[in-house]
Amino acid sequence: MADLPKSISIHEEGPREGFQIERGPIPTARKIELIEALSETGLKQITIASFVNPKKVPSMADAEDIVRGFQPKSGVEYRALWLNEQGFERARAVSGGKLTLEAKIGIYASEKFSMRNNNRTTAQEFEYAQNVVRRYKEHGISVNRASVSSAFGCNFQGDISTATVLDIFRRIFEIAEANALALKEISLADTMAWATPLSIKRTVGAIREKYPEMRLNLHLHNTRGMGIANAVAGLEMGVDMFDACVAGLGGCPFAGHKGAAGNICTEDLAFMCEEMGIETGLNLEKLIECAQLAEEIVGHPLPGSVMKGGSLKRLRHAHLQ
């Protein structure tokens, strides 16, 4: 495990991924309560809302109210998701300096999923990317990241090869070059939990070889229980940036969201890294409190493990007394 990074960044996606999938309406004030609690854990980046179609995702209809209402903490970057120009304009209009409006060029590796999610073919996705990049430049929004979703497989299309992923990144970097953008990060999302440690190593390895200067990010879903193992595979390939959701928010297999389990769990990943000597800058006990708060807010059990099993620091401390 010589390649393990010394430290990693964990980007919290819980307030977005998590509250988005919940059926019961969650009061805006409670969403803000979690965002503000997460701000006290050492997290440096929190995605707090999605500016998506409120008819399709009614649970995110209060995106503007969330941004207006929360108290930002100095040193923490707050981000939001958008999938089209309308969403971007909404985020820009409400930000008031509270949101970090960095953009990415993101493409689905699966055309069938792109059609279902965004109603665009892959060709149309690239066309959109071309256009939106120009809009970002007009507004002085920096574009730092190339991102490929459903990068390991898709429930609607099947396996996704490393070659397909590399080809999409090649085309993204062509757009970046044509627009004089200096991308700094590459992100791979296992949107539908098809990855295993072996496919993570294969695809991340190929990308590292081709783009050695890029910082790598993984966005891993845990639907088939492989999330933390896939994160370890990423760590071993030098990945030092992970998306994660407190308490494993983003879908609870125990609440009828079958097959829609959320991202890897923030505090489980933080626990593992700290136990392995990889710095996260996070306060695990505070994260566990946030996970318990998240469970209380959604009103049903969430899949995180360390929030139930407990940290080891407490146990170690007890034996030293």
In what side-by-side order are the strands of the sheet with 215-220? 77-82, 45-51, 9-12, 241-244, 215-220, 185-190, 143-149, 103-108
d(CA 214, CA 146): 10
Residue with tokens 């990308």: 207
Candidates 25-33, 117-125, 182-190, 310-318: pick the segment binding its own copies (CB under 8 A): 310-318
Shortest distance (Å) from residue 83 CB to its own copies = 24
From the list 282, 275, 251, the residue with the least C-alpha distance to 264 is 251
Residues 153-192 that bind its own copies (CB under 8 A): 153, 155-159
When the beta carbons of 68 and 202 are compared against its own copies, the nearer one is 202
Contact between residue 153 and residue 195 where contact means Cβ atoms under 8 Å apart: yes
Q: Which is nearer to its own copies, 35 or 204 (CB)?
A: 204
262 forms part of the interface with its own copies (CB under 8 A): no
Q: Does 299 bind its own copies (CB under 8 A)?
A: no
Pick from 26, 61, 206, 272 the residue near its own copies by CB under 8 A. Answer: 272
260 versus 293: smaller Cβ distance to its own copies: 260
Rounded least distance, CB 124 to its own copies, Å: 22
What are 317's two structure tokens? 């401390």
Packing angle of the helix pair 162-178, 122-138 (nearest 10 deg):
30
User: Is the CB of 72 or the CB of 253 nearer to its own copies?
Assistant: 253
Number of residues that bind its own copies (CB under 8 A): 50
Name 9's bridge partners.
241
Q: Does 9 bind its own copies (CB under 8 A)?
A: no
For its own copies, which is the closer residue by CB, 141 or 272? Answer: 272
Concatenate the DSSP letters of all residues of 112-156 into one string: HHHHHHHS--HHHHHHHHHHHHHHHHHTT--EEEEEEES-SEETT
As separate numbers, helices (DSSP H) first and strands (DSSP E) second, the chain gives 13, 10
58 binds its own copies (CB under 8 A): no
CA distance 134 to 242: 28
Please, which of residues 218-237 interact with its own copies by CB under 8 A? Answer: 222-226, 228-229, 231-233
Which DSSP symbol is given to 7? B
Q: Is 265 helix (H, G, I), strand (E, B) or coil?
A: strand
- Catalytic, 252? Answer yes
Contact window for its own copies (CB under 8 A) among 90-98, 124-132, 266-274, 283-291: 266-274
Rounded to the nearest whole angstrom, what is the least distance from the CB of residue 306 to its own copies in the complex? 5
If you write DSSP's letter for every residue of 222-264 in order, what string do you get? Answer: -TTS-HHHHHHHHHHTT--EEEEBGGG-S--TTTT-TT---BP
State how far the Cα of 206 lies from the Cα of 225, in Å rounded to an integer.
24
Considering 154, 245, 252, 265, which one is annotated as catalytic? 252
Residue with tokens 């509270």: 98
Q: Is 6 in the site for its own copies (CB under 8 A)?
A: no
Interaction of residue 258 with its own copies, rule CB under 8 A: yes
Check binding of 316 to its own copies (CB under 8 A). yes
When the beta carbons of 147 and 263 are compared against its own copies, the nearer one is: 263
Rank residues 61 and 206 by Cβ distance to its own copies and give the closer one. Answer: 206
Q: Which residues are catalytic?
A: 252
Contacts with its own copies by CB under 8 A lie at 1, 4, 153, 155-159, 193-194, 196-199, 201, 222-226, 228-229, 231-233, 253-254, 258-259, 261, 265, 268, 271-272, 275-277, 301, 303-306, 308-310, 312, 315-316, 319-320
